[in-house]
């Protein structure tokens, strides 16, 4: 590499670093603004904040609507993530290991919910949920969120399964283990980090989902993002910022867990 080439290369990598920095700041600023706004005492959203107060957090904690919405969100998130993970493991096994006919189509369909417009899914699911008599129950939202959560465990488990040879499973079977024992004792422990990560991502996806919840829930099954949405429509107070900050904190923790837990699991 000549000297001028080297200079060009250095300039280019500096430019890229700058660009990534700018993008990150662009993403982070609105988020930080929400957090900053939540820690003040004024009863309207003002920026930059002039004082520090936990007033809106206190109000948020004392609000029964928020409390039940958080409970709903947690129940829906955990159940939807569990369903998505079970479905994700099964389809990943069918696609990667069994190489069942139609694998390519199944694979595409399993990833589709991550890229398809959720409004389309919502419009389609609404009449189905009415027809099944699920409309307004927790189950309607759980099933819908399981669908949008599916791509995450599917992708992570597919990755884990392709990272090692199926020889290991064949070996287990030659040693006398049937398919179920092989899954329980060999396959599952091997893919467990991916399962944990996939579950957490599916949970996080459910936690901040609005569109499907808007269509499928009732006042009693309101999720936290839905409640925020409703609040925004008639009174904008920093309480919303406090609630949004809580969602942000929980989601961030989940993503942190999704990166750290599988690693810890692998070390054991």
Partner 1 sequence: MLQMVSRSATTAESRAAGGAAVSIHNLCKRYNNFEAVVPTSVEIASGDFFAIIGPSGSGKSTLLGMIAGYIDPTAGRIVVDGRDIVPEPIYRRNIGMVFQNYALFPHLSVAQNVAYPLKIRGVAKHEIARRVRESLAMVRLEAFASRMPSELSGGQQQRVALARASIYQPSILLMDEPLGALDKNLRDEMQEEIKRFQQELGATVIYVTHDQQEAAFLADRIAIMRDGAMTQIGSPRSLYEQPKSRFVAEFLGEASIFPVKTASGKLTDQTCRITLEDGTETVIRTGEDGGPGRFACIRPERITIGPKARGLANAYTGVVRESLYTPGSIRYRVELKDAGCLLKVRALPQHNTEVFETGSSVDIGWSVDDMTILAE
Residues that bind partner 1 (CB under 8 A): 164-165, 167-168, 170-178, 181, 185-186, 189-190
Place of tokens 């699911």: 125
Closest of 191, 213, 227 to residue 90, by C-alpha: 191
Closest of 204, 241, 191, 181 to residue 49, by C-alpha: 241
Residue 191 or 227 with smaller CB distance to partner 1: 191
Buried b (16+ CB within 10 A) or exposed e, 176-210: ebeeeebbeebbeeebbbbbbbbbbbbbbbbbbbe
Shortest distance, CB of residue 99 to partner 1, whole angstroms?
14
Residue 47 or 164 with smaller CB distance to partner 1: 164
Shortest distance, CB of residue 192 to partner 1, whole angstroms?
9
Query: Quick one: which H or E segment has residue 166?
Result: none
Residue 22 or 175 with smaller CB distance to partner 1: 175
Shortest distance, CB of residue 115 to partner 1, whole angstroms?
34
Q: State whether residue 186 is helix, strand or coil.
A: helix
Q: Enumerate the H helices of the chain as residue ranges.
A: 3-38, 55-62, 64-92, 103-115, 118-131, 138-149, 151-162, 167-174, 179-182, 188-207, 211-216, 224-234, 238-267
Shortest distance, CB of residue 267 to partner 1, whole angstroms?
11
Residue 196 or 241 with smaller CB distance to partner 1: 196
Residue 36 or 190 with smaller CB distance to partner 1: 190
Residue 173 or 236 with smaller CB distance to partner 1: 173
Shortest distance, CB of residue 173 to partner 1, whole angstroms?
4
Shortest distance, CB of residue 200 to partner 1, whole angstroms?
21
């Amino acid at each position: 590499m000549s000297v001028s080439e080297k200079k060009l290369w250095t300039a280019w990598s500096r430019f890229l670093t700058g660009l990534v920095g700018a993008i990150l700041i662009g993403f982070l600023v609105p988020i930080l603004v929400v957090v900053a706004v939540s820690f003040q005492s004024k009863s309207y959203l003002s920026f930059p904040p002039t004082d520090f107060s936990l007033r809106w957090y206190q109000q948020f904690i004392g609000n029964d609507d928020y409390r039940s919405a958080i409970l709903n969100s947690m129940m829906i998130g955990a159940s939807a993530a569990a369903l998505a993970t079970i479905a994700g493991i099964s389809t990943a096994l069918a696609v990667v290991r069994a190489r069942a006919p139609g694998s390519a189509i199944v694979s595409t369909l399993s990833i589709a919910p991550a890229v398809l417009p959720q409004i389309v899914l919502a419009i389609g699911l609404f009449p189905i949920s009415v027809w099944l008599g699920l409309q307004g129950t927790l189950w309607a939202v759980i099933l819908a969120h399981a669908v949008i959560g599916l791509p995450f465990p599917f992708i992570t488990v597919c990755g884990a399964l392709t990272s090692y040879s199926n020889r290991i499973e064949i070996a287990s079977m030659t040693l006398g283990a049937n398919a179920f024992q092989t899954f329980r004792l060999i396959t599952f422990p091997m893919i467990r980090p991916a399962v944990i990560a996939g579950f957490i991502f599916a949970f996080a996806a459910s936690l901040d989902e609005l569109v499907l919840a808007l269509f499928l829930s009732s006042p009693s099954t309101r999720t936290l993002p839905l409640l925020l949405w409703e609040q925004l429509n008639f009174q904008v107070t920093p309480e919303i910022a406090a609630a949004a900050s809580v969602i942000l904190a929980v989601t961030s923790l989940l993503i942190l867990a999704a990166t750290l837990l599988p690693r810890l699991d692998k070390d054991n």
